[in-house]
Amino acid sequence: MHSQVLQDVLRRLDKTFNNYFRRIKKGKKAGYPRFKGKYRYDSFTYPQSGFALEKKKNTLWLSKIGIITIKLHRPIPYKGVIKTCTIKRDVDHWYACFAVTLPDPAPGTQQRKLQIAIGIDVGLKHLLTLHNGDTIANPRWLRHSEKKLAKEQRRQARTQKGSHNRQKQNIKVVRVNRKIRNQRKDFHHKLSRKLVDCYDLIVYENLKITNLVKNPHLAKSISDAGWGQLMCFTEYKAAEAGTLVEYVSAYNTSQLCSRCGKIVPKTLATRIHSCPYCGLVLTRDHNSAITILSRSTNYVASSSSASASSGQGLSIEPV
């Protein structure tokens, strides 16, 4: 192996133990770093040198390995400088991941004017409900593939541990899981791009998703929806486009009336917001989305000069 690849392994180990002891000193619960065997250690990194990308020939040269033909699915950004190359294994798929530094944008050209804002409530019945009433359907990729996944897992359980049939069946199980993961990721990429292109200010509620998935009745559905991944994709795309993403308090967003501000108690089964004080009747998620937008400090500051409440039609069809 290339010397810097081996040095990077020690850096990873050092970083892991530093993070472990840092959590211990702060009194947080931390699991002892786990040894990664050959079936769990799935990547290695060239941190500075030892690799060369030939864009025209679609080849990648790796020191001590040689020339590899690749599918360059995404061009290296203009004026971008490749700093590191990580080779990642996903059972029977291999990926080359490049970390690229980009020149700083010109000052004053990054932030867009806050002309159109949107408040977003994430959910399970509808993946997104916007404050203007639009909804985005929840594709439920895992639910649609559960029978196929269960079938492959039953076959896996019947094989003998350590056998060749076990290894072949492991790959089949991984392929089903990978397809579900890729479907979800593709949908989130397209949806986040649409949001960033249509709106100048995107307001989410600041959810503690790690606490929400502790509910055994909702954990699978919440994980299948992938709220955190969608928010992450929206945030980094917005940073490139000059769009502002804001997170507001999630406290009582579903209980508060968006018109009069009174508390209207509801259970999870109550899907309609009917305020006895002002007579407002909306779906629960629509009411929450309006409340989320109203809590935005950027929306309040810019609403006097910007037509922030005017929504645009948004439709993303899962594929």
Residue 124, judged by CB atoms within 10 A of its CB (0-12, 13-18, 19+), counts as middle
The CA distance from 14 to 10, in Å, is 6
Catalytic residue among 8, 121, 224, 246: 121
Catalytic residue among 8, 152, 200, 205: 205
Strand locations in 220-280 (E): 244-249, 272-274
- Residue 8 among the catalytic residues: no
The CA distance from 186 to 100, in Å, is 22
Alpha carbon separation from 101 to 80, 115, 209, 235 (Å, rounded): 6, 31, 31, 19
240 contact partners, CB below 8 Å, separation of at least 6: none
- Residue 134 among the catalytic residues: no
DSSP letters for 58-78:
TEEEETTTEEEE----SPPPT
Q: Minimal CA–CA distance to 106: which of 245, 248, 242? A: 242
80: DSSP letter: -
Strand pairing category for 81-90 and 135-137: unpaired
Tokens for 13, please give them.
């180990």
Residue with tokens 């010397």: 3
Q: Minimal CA–CA distance to 155: which of 141, 143, 172, 142? A: 172
In one-letter notation, the amino acid at residue 62 is L
The CA distance from 80 to 99, in Å, is 10
The sign of the CA dihedral 86, 90, 91, 94 is negative
207 neighbors 250 (Cβ within 8 angstroms): yes
- Residue 146 among the catalytic residues: no
Residues marked as catalytic: 121, 205, 285
